[in-house]
A = this chain, B = another copy of it.
Amino acid sequence: MSITLKDVAELAGVSRSAVSRTFTEGASVSEKTRRKVEKAADALGYHPNALASSLTTGRTKLIGLVADNFHNPFFLEVFDLFTRGLQDRGLRPLLVNLSGETDPANSVRMLRQYSVDGVIVASSTLSPEFARAFRDARVPVVHSFGRFASSPRVHVVGIDNVECGRMAARTLIDRGYRRIAFLGGPESATSTQDRFAGFMQVASADPVVVVSHSFARTYSFDAGRVEMTKLLMTDPAEAYFCGDDVVAIGAQSAIRSAGLRVPEDIGLIGLNDMEMARWENIDLTTIRQPAPQIIDSSIELVTAMLEEPGRYPEARLFPCEIMERGSLRPLS
């Protein structure tokens, strides 16, 4: 069927080892045989079978990319960055869609069956358990956008969500908002919990500030809209820190549908700074999460673990910054 090492060896008149060696970096082959082999390989259109070689080398160059939110456009950007970053380093992403799945065991089993070299869990909602399951199975794993822990059990790359919560509260208070609220993503998500904690910490420390909170069912437009619609029926706050941009956009839509204006009637601040936040009809003030850096760093870390499997776990944090746009009233 397809061309194998043996075919090339025969045509080139050398041993199979010689052919193998010309295709492996840093192996000992003379220029003469290399040329013979390359000529034969070209003639036959030969390319080494990566999977067969993985059997002996123990490396597949396959990286499991595990995600659970396919309804948040931010993750499209994340996939773009991950796939390109991996490809640039000669690695291949094996995509796993976890939507609805709660038990890590299946994914662990599946990714082990495919002998992935490592796994990147790209999610801000999965519990740390998930990444740990891979570690326990001795699969190098990095949790991107995961929860920061002061004593991480697994490599984590992301942001300090607690600090983001504080930052959001400070920003709202600085703008003169007094009745402020947290409109979080799913309550079960670690990122929601942390952002909530930080937000409350700053907000409740200020004696004149009145703070309230609620949660959207998921990090999605619909959930944000539903929750804000509910809030508008009673006595809404002056400004909301939303779970993330897509929740904020849903909230924005609800506010506008109710005949109110952002930021004149209600202020909004999101988190992520996804592309859409810049769209002129959305124009969302938001906390930028430096996705390119997080992703680069995650890839770097997972490749480092290939060399050094027992590598001591670490948490890598990147700073966030406020992106001023039009959904909050200006600093007076």
| Chain B residue with the shortest CB-CB distance to A48 | B113
Q: Measured between alpha carbons, how far is A236 from B250 in the docked complex, in Å?
A: 31
Query: Would you give the shortest CB distance from A40 to chain B, in whole angstroms?
Result: 17
Contacts of A77 in B (CB 8 A): 70
Whether A275 and B221, one on each chain, are in contact in the complex, defined by CB atoms closer than 8 angstroms, is: yes
Contacts of A72 in B (CB 8 A): 76
Contacts of A256 in B (CB 8 A): 280-281
A:45-90 near B, CB below 8 Å = 47-52, 54-55, 58, 60, 62, 65, 70-73, 75-77, 79-80, 83-84, 87
- CB < 8 Å neighbour of A79 from B51, B58, B95, B257: B95
Could you give, for residues 220-254 of chain A, a 1 whenever the CB lies within 8 Å of some chain B CB and a 0 otherwise?
01000100000000000000000000000110111
A115: interface (CB < 8 Å): yes
A:276-312 near B, CB below 8 Å = 276, 279-281
Q: Measured between alpha carbons, how far is A257 from B326 in the docked complex, in Å?
A: 13
Copies in the complex: 2
Whether B55 and A52, one on each chain, are in contact in the complex, defined by CB atoms closer than 8 angstroms, is: yes
Contacts of A254 in B (CB 8 A): 280
Q: Measured between alpha carbons, how far is A253 from B284 in the docked complex, in Å?
A: 14
Given the known inter-chain contacts A50-B114, A113-B50, A253-B280, please indicate yes or no for A80 contacting B92, CB distance below 8 A: no
Q: Which of A72, A113, A275, A276 is most buried by chain B, counting CB atoms within 10 A of its CB?
A: A113
Whether A94 and B94, one on each chain, are in contact in the complex, defined by CB atoms closer than 8 angstroms, is: yes
Q: Measured between alpha carbons, how far is A109 from B50 in the docked complex, in Å?
A: 11
Contacts of A54 in B (CB 8 A): 51
Contacts of A102 in B (CB 8 A): none
Whether B114 and A99, one on each chain, are in contact in the complex, defined by CB atoms closer than 8 angstroms, is: no
- CB < 8 Å neighbour of A92 from B1, B50, B114, B221: B114
Query: Would you give the shortest CB distance from A179 to chain B, in whole angstroms?
Result: 24
Query: Would you give the shortest CB distance from A104 to chain B, in whole angstroms?
Result: 15
Whether A225 and B95, one on each chain, are in contact in the complex, defined by CB atoms closer than 8 angstroms, is: no
Q: List 26 A-B contacts (CB under 8 A).
A: A47-B113, A48-B113, A50-B114, A70-B76, A70-B79, A70-B83, A71-B275, A72-B76, A73-B73, A73-B76, A75-B76, A76-B76, A79-B79, A79-B95, A80-B99, A83-B96, A92-B95, A92-B110, A93-B94, A221-B276, A252-B281, A253-B279, A253-B280, A253-B281, A256-B281, A257-B280
Of all A-B residue pairs in the complex, the 5 with the closest CB atoms, nearest first, are A70-B80, A83-B97, A253-B281, A50-B113, A76-B76
Q: A49-B113, A51-B60, A257-B280 are in contact. List 7 more A-B contacts (CB 8 A).
A: A55-B55, A62-B114, A70-B79, A70-B83, A71-B76, A87-B97, A93-B95
